[in-house]
Amino acid sequence: MKVFDLQCSQGHCFEGWFGSEADFADQQARALVDCPLCGDGHVQKMLSAPRLNLGRAKPQETQETHGDDSPARGTASTNEVALASPQTEATQALLHLARELLARTQDVGNRFAEEARKIHYGEAQARPIRGQATPQQTRDLLEEGVQVMPFVLPESLKGPLQ
């Protein structure tokens, strides 16, 4: 399995897992690779260090001293782990949050403002909901004291959950 660091033309970084580099090239040629955040199909492979799972790393000292007291550099372990970039970690956290939001809320679609008011005024059962509202509807709800939070879902999560 090959794990590639990928980036869309909007600058979103994410990982892609492929059977081989040829699988990646084939899927990219068939327009099957797109950004999980914005759906952009213009994706490029970024430079990344290989990650080898060769067992647990043994701690090594970074400097050793020899008989003449001159410092010498320690050798690097062959099983070092490449750390994910902060942007990749943030993207993964955002996707996890979005999936949790989808799993724990009821989609009321374009009736969001109406349903939120009913819940706020006790006319409907209190429950976590999500849906679409215009910026003006959102401002009106907030002015009425209805607690709402705008949250833009990544394109990849707008379809059916798998």
Q: What is the pLDDT of residue 96?
A: 83
Q: What is the pLDDT of residue 1?
A: 77
Q: What is the pLDDT of residue 119?
A: 94
Which pairs with CB-CB distance under 8 Å and at least 24 residues apart come from 49-52? 49/82, 50/82, 51/3, 51/81, 51/82, 52/78, 52/79
Q: What is the pLDDT of residue 77?
A: 38
Closest CA to 120 of 157, 147, 87, 89: 147
* Bridge partners for 27 per DSSP: none
Residue 8 and residue 38 in contact, taking contact as beta carbons nearer than 8 Å? yes
- Digitized pLDDT (tens) for each residue of the chain, 162 residues in all: 788 889 999 888 888 888 888 888 899 899 889 888 888 889 998 886 665 556 555 555 444 444 444 444 444 334 444 455 556 677 778 788 888 888 899 999 999 999 999 999 999 999 999 999 999 999 999 999 999 988 877 666 665 544
Q: What is the pLDDT of residue 159?
A: 59
